[in-house]
Amino acid sequence: MKLTLRVWRQRNADADGAMSTYEVDGVSPDMSFLEMLDTLNEELILKGEDPVAFDHDCREGICGACSLVINGEAHGPERTTTCQLHMRSFRDGDTLDIEPWRASAFPVIKDLVVDRSAFDRIIQAGGYITAPTGSAPEAHATPVPKPDADLAFEHAECIGCGACVAACPNGAAMLFTSAKVNHLNVLPQGAPERETRVLDMVAQMDEEGFGGCTLAGECATACPKGIPLTSITSMNKEWLRATRKVAKR
């Protein structure tokens, strides 16, 4: 396959960025998208040019680092992470526009790499439980109803890639935050911080400068792990419950 790549190049957070055009030939349909970018970078290095900076780690669809907007879609045309997107999803001769996540809360570091530490601060605000340290408790010591366990696992699948923010027309982080709130709030181990967790994490989300949620639904469509849109409504219920409980004190 021969492809034309229009890649966003930006030297640093303070510099102006622009799209640069590159031709890549000999691309195998079995290559992953990141392997295709590796091929491009090898050619750029051989020419003495600066390779394209892009984020990656596990390349197994687990870490969520491979955050790219491809032809205007978060992670590209398939509902998967960029590292698990293969070039057979494209055709010979295609032109691909490759950009970083576009959100004010995710400033560009260089080229296609953005700073997603805002997500870390949201988790630090309440994504934890207060549990005694020591040896692991017996697995059946705290009974958890299966529907609650299934719901917790469903939300715990969130890998924090940020596709929900990139796909949202408002740049909202509600799907990410709700996944991190709900997967702990439905379990008995998360009960002691149930109210403070949702209040603190939502407050931190707002402080980070993410946009407001209007339930456009693009976040759930783009999520590679299938976090449902109902996660947001569940968190809204938790937030209302917590604000009323705090107001009565």
CATH of domain 116-248: 1.10.1060.10
Q: What is the mean pLDDT of residues 6-25?
A: 96
Note the pLDDT of residue 158: 97
Note the pLDDT of residue 13: 87
Note the pLDDT of residue 118: 98
Give the count of beta carbons closer than 10 Å to the beta carbon of residue 61: 18
Give the count of beta carbons closer than 10 Å to the beta carbon of residue 117: 13
**Domain residues of the chain, as ranges?**
3-110, 116-248
Could you identify the residue written with the tokens 């809204």?
Answer: 236
Query: Do 3-110 and 116-248 show the same overall fold?
Result: no
Domain 3-110 of CATH type 3.10.20.30: yes
Q: What is the mean pLDDT of residues 169-182?
A: 97
Whole-structure pTM value: 0.93
Residues 71, 77, 82, 84, CA torsion sign: negative
Q: What is the mean pLDDT of residues 122-130?
A: 93
CA atoms of 172 and 52, how far apart (whole Å): 27
* CA-wise closest residue to 205 among 169, 173, 168: 173
CA atoms of 19 and 9, how far apart (whole Å): 6
